[in-house]
Amino acid sequence: MYFLKELKGQLASKQATIGVIGLGYVGLPLLVAFAEKGFSVIGFDIDQNKIHQIEQGRSYIKHIPGEQLQNKLISATSDMSRLKEPDVIIICVPTPLSIHREPDLSYVTQTAYEIAHYLRMGQLVVLQSTTYPGTTEEVVLPILAGTGLVVGEEFALAYSPEREDPANADYSIFNVPKVIGGVTPTCLDLAQTLYNQIITQTVSVSSTRTAEASKILENIYRSVNIALVNELKILFHKMDIDVWEVIEAAKTKPFGFQAFYPGPGWGGHCIPIDPFYLTWKAREYDLSLRFIELAGEVNTLMPSYVVSRLVSALNNCGKPLKNSEVLILGVAYKKNVDDQRESPALKIIQLLQQQGANVSYHDPYAPTCTNHRHFPEINLQSTALTKENLATFDAVIIATDHDDVDYKLIADYSSLIIDTRNVLATKGLRTANTVSA
């Protein structure tokens, strides 16, 4: 217990060294945040290219300026034997789904074994990767306890879910409340002391399972509501009602309603994945979570709906989809970011290619579209957005509504526009050749 008491003092005085494993869209911002608050930090990743770019002070994530990586408190390595150096180890590795929509915890498990090789007394380990309730104590704890060290006495273990919203100018790591659950009261106290040094508010809960469940609930809430408006979009189109106008009218109610907006599907690492971690876990308790499964079905089918709207619009122009030239505007999963993970644009591209269309894309933040886990056949490079280029396409699908795009150019020089984000109408640019989808 002496070593953990000493660690608490080191955390409070910012004398502790923080290690972050997994330097992606969650880990890299966290690394920068601790360094900005005066902590020495070590980033760990098996991708040597990421390590090299950090060492050069260059960022590979759009919303993280390279200048922030030039902090002398930041170092990075792919040498896992250095895990014995940090006093705190934060796990930010991916938790994807398998092709059968079952949790793939291989990254978490492998990381836990790496930590166990070098775990020493007085270290705090925090899992931040989103996962099903029970992962910290059922998967990570047995691996770390296999070293013979006692949790809560010789090392500490906690769970604190990430709440990243890339490109959100109002909320950052520093001002979004941090939910924390510890395996023991000592573990919770240490984890809360850690995050209190960089975050305005921490929210302690009774267990790691509760903390894990809170993150899943947040994403299920969004998934179900997005599915609701996506389903209503299809119905209202058949009823000749503008779903966007309906939402704008409904949100004037000052209570009891929160606006969610339809789109071409769902994307990002959280919403299309995390809810299914809970549906998988629920089977252990003989329960079928029908709301979650139904929301998944609706959101997963939206790219097909977008393609069907394109087919219908092309038919009205006397053109088949096969051999048509189609430009996808935006392959990132949301506006103003470069993250393509689980982007609905990828499924749209796949469907179009399978039906014989010639597909190109433009995205100011994504110069290449390739090496995607579930779409290995996609290998494209962003094309220039010019009036000459636009004239060569039979249709443009607006899949992502980046701000840094000349929508007037698109409105003026496109033969046919399929707008899945209502961006042209919002900007007063909707034309006779614009189709909502």
pLDDT at 185: 97
- Residue appearing with tokens 């050069």: 56
Rounded Cα distance between 26 and 135, Å, is 19
CATH number of the CATH domain containing 380: 3.40.50.720
Is the separation of the CB atoms in 396 and 390 below 8 Å? yes
In the chain, % of residues over pLDDT 90: 92
Q: What value does the mean pLDDT of the chain take?
A: 95
Residues 247 and 188 in one domain: no
pLDDT at 233: 97
Name the band, by pLDDT with cuts 50, 70 and 90, for residue 318.
Answer: very high
- The average pLDDT across 35-44 equals 98
Question: Residue 211 domain-assigned?
Answer: no
pLDDT at 101: 77
Instruction: Let me know how long the chain is.
Output: 437
Residues 238 and 142 in one domain: no
Per DSSP bridges, beta strands 395-398 and 417-419 are parallel
Residues 50 and 78 in one domain: yes
Q: Indicate which residues carry an active-site annotation.
A: 270
Per DSSP bridges, beta strands 156-159 and 178-182 are antiparallel
Residues 254 and 120 in one domain: no
- pLDDT tens-place string over residues 352-363: 999 999 999 999
**Rg of the chain over all Cα atoms, to the nearest angstrom:** 24
- Residue appearing with tokens 């490079």: 381
Find the DSSP H helices in 355-422: 387-390, 407-413
How many Cα neighbours within 13 Å face the side chain of 127? 35
Residue 179 forms beta bridges with which residues?
203
Residues 173 and 261 in one domain: no
Token representation of residue 125: 């380990």
In the chain, % of residues over pLDDT 70: 100
Residues 191 and 266 in one domain: no
Q: Is the pLDDT of residue 406 over 90?
A: yes
Residues 112 and 241 in one domain: no
pLDDT at 171: 87
Q: Is the pLDDT of residue 390 over 90?
A: yes
- pLDDT tens-place string over residues 45-85: 999 999 999 999 999 998 899 999 999 999 999 999 999 99
Q: How many domains does the chain have?
A: 2
Name the band, by pLDDT with cuts 50, 70 and 90, for residue 86.
Answer: very high
pLDDT at 217: 96
- pLDDT tens-place string over residues 217-251: 999 999 999 999 999 999 999 999 999 999 999 99
Q: For 395, list phi and psi in degrees, rounded to 5.
A: -160, 150
Name the band, by pLDDT with cuts 50, 70 and 90, for residue 337.
Answer: very high
Q: Residue 401 is part of which domain span?
A: 223-436
